[in-house]
């Protein structure tokens, strides 16, 4: 589509339709969705924590502005640094609703190893002429929003008891926020509202995958913590990139030794973090 904000809106929109259909045919999901607002009414869950979906949408909006300035590789590394740093904190305070974890040296080392792994995996794509302190700072903040979003989803899921209900709330708030941003942009810039026929048919499948991802992550962070989930997600992302390069290569694609090295280092970070479970309270 050539525009990440519009692509995100399509993803959130199709995801919202998909999860709403699930809710339509599953009474337990509808009940779980209602339980979220019961918890708010009983003051068990602060209203502001329902904005988790907006944090995900804000990440995409920030990505729209930062990537053209700093490039994809620098944005990826900086945003991951923000995610891992905030994950240490949200696990420490138990924001996800699970077991609290001390900020041990081993967990910090695991986070540093994983950020280093992403640096190495994207090394051949760095363009230092694009380096911008402001852009990198914004990317770090954007990444931290993702870490908080995962934690809030875990807490919301502790009340809904149904991960699809948690996912539905995310897509409602995220889609609403992105629609607001897109309307603002169309009013104050020369960007026109998108033409949905300009993209391939498979672009409408991304949202349904996101539904399952958010539903799964909302449950997972309650048990493994936000940091470990982040580390495992990075490993999965890098392996996915490698598989795409192998089986669905684009023109001029080469298997990067940096990517393979990054994958090994990522799981070294996962192992290091796994050892730190002994330091959990």
What pLDDT does residue 70 have?
A: 73
Residue 72 to residues 20, 121, 156, 173, 230: CA-CA distances in angstroms?
33, 12, 31, 26, 19
Reported as a single tens digit per residue, the pLDDT across 80-138 is 889 999 999 999 988 887 778 888 888 899 889 888 888 888 787 766 566 678 888 88
What pLDDT does residue 281 have?
A: 47
The SS3 assignment for 189 reads coil
Reported as a single tens digit per residue, the pLDDT across 213-225 is 999 999 989 888 8
What pLDDT does residue 188 have?
A: 81
Kindly state the average pLDDT of the residues 239-268: 80
pLDDT at 27 over 90: yes
**Helix segments in the chain, DSSP class H:** 4-25, 27-41, 52-70, 72-93, 105-121, 133-160, 163-188, 206-224, 226-247, 257-275
Range with the largest mean pLDDT of 48-62, 179-193, 259-273: 48-62
What pLDDT does residue 278 have?
A: 45
Handedness of CA 121, 60, 6, 29 (dihedral sign): positive
What's the pLDDT band for 253 if we cut at 50, 70, 90? low
What pLDDT does residue 272 have?
A: 80
**Helix segments in 26-51, DSSP class H:** 27-41
What pLDDT does residue 262 have?
A: 84
Range with the largest mean pLDDT of 167-181, 188-202, 236-250, 257-271: 167-181
First to last CA, the chain: 47
pLDDT at 279 over 80: no
With beta carbons less than 8 A apart as the criterion, state whether 169 and 215 touch: no
What's the pLDDT band for 196 if we cut at 50, 70, 90? low
- What are the residues whose beta carbons fall under 8 Å from the beta carbon of 260, sequence distance 6 or more? 242
What pLDDT does residue 9 have?
A: 86
**Distance (Å, whole) CA 115 – CA 77:** 7
What pLDDT does residue 160 have?
A: 94
Nearest to residue 3, comparing CAs of 166, 189, 171?
189
Take residue 221 and report the two structure tokens written for it.
């962070």
Average pLDDT of the residues of the chain: 84
The SS3 assignment for 97 reads coil
Q: Which residue has the higher pLDDT, 128 or 67?
A: 67
Nearest to residue 11, comparing CAs of 220, 247, 182?
182
pLDDT at 144 over 70: yes
Task: Supply the range of the domain harboring residue 38.
Answer: 4-279
pLDDT at 73 over 80: no
What pLDDT does residue 182 have?
A: 86
* Least confident interval from 10-14, 48-52, 99-103, 152-156: 99-103
Q: Which residue has the higher pLDDT, 19 or 128?
A: 19
With beta carbons less than 8 A apart as the criterion, state whether 98 and 223 touch: yes
Number of structural domains, the chain? Answer: 1
Model-level pTM?
0.83
């Amino acid at each position: 589509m050539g525009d990440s904000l519009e692509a995100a809106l399509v993803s959130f929109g199709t995801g919202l339709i998909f999860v709403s259909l699930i809710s339509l045919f599953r009474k337990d999901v509808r009940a779980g969705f209602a339980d979220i607002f019961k918890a708010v009414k009983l003051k068990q869950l602060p209203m502001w924590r329902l904005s988790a979906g907006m944090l995900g949408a804000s990440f995409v909006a920030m990505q729209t502005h930062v990537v053209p300035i700093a490039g994809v590789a620098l944005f990826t590394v900086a945003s991951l640094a923000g995610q891992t740093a905030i994950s240490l904190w949200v696990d420490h305070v138990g924001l996800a609703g699970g077991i609290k974890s001390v900020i041990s040296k081993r967990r910090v080392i695991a986070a540093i190893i994983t950020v280093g792994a992403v640096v190495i995996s994207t090394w051949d794509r760095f363009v230092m002429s694009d380096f911008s302190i402001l852009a990198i700072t914004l990317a770090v903040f954007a990444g931290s929003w993702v870490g908080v979003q995962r934690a809030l989803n875990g807490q919301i899921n502790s009340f809904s008891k149904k991960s699809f209900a948690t996912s539905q709330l995310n897509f409602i708030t995220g889609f609403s926020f992105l629609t607001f941003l897109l309307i603002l942009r169309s009013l104050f810039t020369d960007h026109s509202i998108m033409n949905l026929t300009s993209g391939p048919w498979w672009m409408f499948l991304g949202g349904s995958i996101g539904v399952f991802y958010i539903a799964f992550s909302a449950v997972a962070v309650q048990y493994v913590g936000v940091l470990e989930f982040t580390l495992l997600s990075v490993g999965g992302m890098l392996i996915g990139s490698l598989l795409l390069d192998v089986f669905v290569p684009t023109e001029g694609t080469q298997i990067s030794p940096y990517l393979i090295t990054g994958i090994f280092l990522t799981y070294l970070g996962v192992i290091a973090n796994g050892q730190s479970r002994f330091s959990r309270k």
